[in-house]
Structure 1
Amino acid sequence: MIPKASQRSGGQDLATHLLNALDNEYVEVAEVSGAVASDHHGAFAEWEAIASGLTQCRQYLYSLSVNPDLAQGELTRAQYLDYVDRVEKKLGLEGQPRAVVFHIKEGREHCHVVWSRIDYQSEKAIHLAFDRDKLMMVTREFARDNGLTLPDGYGRDPTEPKRGRETLYEKQQQRQTGLSKEERMQVVTHAWKSSDSPRAFVRALEEMGYALATGNRPYCAGRSVRHENALPKLIDDRQVKTKDIRAFLEKEFPPESLPTVDVAKALVAQHRKAREEFARAQDNGRKRDALLAVQAKRREGVAAEHSRLLEGQRQERAALAAEQLWERQAMRAGYLAEARRIKAERIASKPTGLAAFLGRVTGITLIRDKLHRYRDRQRLEAFVARKAELVQAQRGAAHMQRERHRLQAVDGERNLKALAAVEKRELQSLEVKRVREQRIKDRAGHEHMPALTLELKPKGRGASVRKAQYRYKDSLRVPEERQARVDEAASQPIDLQQAMQDALAAQSPLSKAVDVRDAFTRVAGGGKSGESGGDGDEGATPRRSRSRGRRGSASADGGNAGMILTGRSRRAPSFSEAAERQTLRWLHVDNCALSHR
């Protein structure tokens, strides 16, 4: 037997959870005591009102779940209640309002007990100190008295290593994905050990449904189910430290180049939404229709009961109105009958003859008439007073009936509202179950989540971006490699004569004959007279005329003179001038190479 208990608030949510018939194959409300309402929502609302009115306690409930070991047989209802009574006595909750519910979930029967911690007599909340130790003591005593074996944790061997306790966050992850924490750690550890490069490791993570991101920690693994974990915590290897992972990834995947956790969540959320919408479209909805049919049948019962309540209230109001009318009519009829009787008696006893004459003479008749009128007035005043009292009593009875009916209607509406909350929770549970089954189906036997393909990435540039401060840096990021390329280019020899011939071949000649050697010598010599250059030994080359608006001439061997455009002349350049310019460009390249050497 494994008891789990906690102090908590949120009675309405707890009541909805206890009455969820989808997550549980069987729900039995065994007891609701200490409250006017007979259902959990009403009882917990009463306890919350008492707690807020008498105390400042926020966690006004104490919730206990009792889970027996199925291997040792099921417990009877008497054994469950015996254990609950022992816990109640040990914790000091005797006489407190409580609710007991039995569940059967996946073939496992268990019990839920909820107490109110508020003592209305002392107007204080019962203090529960060392409740888990007391639960452990009660469990040991109960197991010993009933011949049960203690579960792990109650009879732990001190030599055994302590095992980590699964948190609610991890339980929720397993509930949504169908993968436990150990299974997730196993697949990530396998990817870490089998990857020989950072890119291979990141690719393996993507194939398992993880997206590498950065958050409060440099490297986080976001999954396609709205959860993220620090990458070092997913690698089940004590020899692998955080610094090892950072050193392995930061060269090719620096933290500043990774998307943030929010961006990764948005990416995988889009992926998840697309897959779930497709799966929802493929789902024929039979389970949902079946659940809606069960809910409709259950709602029909509650609605019929509410209708019967309203009809009964209408009949009660009609009966009360008829009864009150009959009472008023009976009172009036009694008064009128009494008046007629008295009148008849007076007529029968009225004197006649001499007695009547003497009565009028002596004044006895006048006194008797005044006495009759006085008695009639007293009877009328008494009737009016009795009628006013009756009307007041009837109004009070009608008001009490209306209040009772109003409270009954409010209780019925509250039952309908609670039923709507339970139905909503059941639909949510069905959707979670469907999504979990779809994800397990998508894995197709693989122990990981569906892969994040490249088609799921957002349009435009990828998530791995370079900051503005690195915009003008060389993409090689290594100055040695860049200098090596420059040195290699400078060390290559340049054949100027071949380059000159290639340049001349690309040009269309403007004259019939050109002395290439003379032009090359003139350019190599810098245009100075008396200097020789190149391989030729011709005379000095004439210089350009620098006067504006004048034409200069140059003489060459054989009379092949090319006219050079000076100043602002519009004449096209000669072929020798074009060759000179091309040669100057090649000489500039050669000088740059020599300077690098």
Structure 2
Amino acid sequence: MILVGNQRGGAKDLASHLLKQENEHVEVHEVRGFASNNLMAALNEAHAISRATRCKQFLFSLSLNPPKDENVSTETFEQTIERVEEKLGLTDQPRAIVFHEKNGRRHCHVVWSRIKTEEMKAIQLSFTKQKLTELSRELYLEHGWAMPNGLKQAHARDPLNFTLAEWQQAKRIGKDPKQIKAVFQECWSLNKTQNAFENALKEYDYVLARGDRRCFVAVDHRGEVFAVSKWIGIKTKEVRDRLTDETALPSVSEARIQIAKDMATRLETISQEQKNVLEARRAELEEKRQILVHQHRFERKKLHDAQHSYRHHKQQEWRNNFNTGFRDLFDRLTGKRHKIEERNEQDAWNVEMRQQQERDELIFKQLETRRALQSRIERLEALKTYRLDELEHDRSQYQAMREQRLEELETQRREQNRDRPQLRQSTPDWMR
């Protein structure tokens, strides 16, 4: 089964995600090592404990995804989880196990607390991706499941099947010359025919092409040209002895044109995927905004009704302060009624000020919540602009590279046609 894990914080969000009812069935299978048996309370407990440390990503979340058509028992899941704990050093740590079922598939999520309560330190997790990948391979072999190509060998993946993060990383770090040389030497030593060598290079994102002066070259996704003999470290004659069919290979310009076309198409696909993801996140924030507006209106109406009821009660109390009949006439003559009016007015003013302060406090509290949401909306819009502009810039560069190479090819063809000797019509001697 495929194992994907990562360190993270956000206990409440993670618990909410694991309990989402968008799945057909959700089963909290186990909550171990926490004071509460409730998933939300357990993860919040992990968060509370982490506050005593400097650790921000106090959880380790793992998803276990078996092959699509395989029925995997709960016991197998539990055994796998135990093996993951042993490999990563999470044995006996508090954990929660949740099973999801959707569209006929069952998979599992496990969340561990990284905080060792005895020492109040987070467990250091190193090389988790490599360790989980190794365990995934072992599980496929042990259970006789058909192993995905990408899990057999890391380089067996489609070179055009990259994600946004992988593309940005490739742009950021570039390529190490030692790694390039190792790739060429490995492909050459393991593949004895031209087709095998060409396919091996393609797995590493290189296109074998026909260079100048019968030289064989490889072109990478950026359009850079690498001489095969130079990067393998052998003589050109040895390369020619094995790579004999130049006519089956594209020229450098043709290879660059095809690469530019493929990369532009892939970047366009990624751009559309990003638009869909960001629009979905924007829709979620818009829904939260609408819910927040309704919630705030309800809270204000509730306060308004309570204050209105209180004022109505106070008005009755103020009216009761006045005497009636002859006592009222006596109070008017002695000035006592005037004093009662002043006291009632002062009391009414105090009530109004106090209620206004209550309304202000509620409004300020709601504004703080609303501004936090607005900040998320603005960050999302800025992220959308940045990502899409970056992808469009890269796509435009590949499109420009393709058009430039097409123009170069056309220019070469025109020059070749112009340099060809033209047949002269013979003329009789008497016309000369």
Q: TM-score with structure 2 length normalisation?
A: 0.41
Larger radius of gyration, structure 1 or 2?
Answer: 1
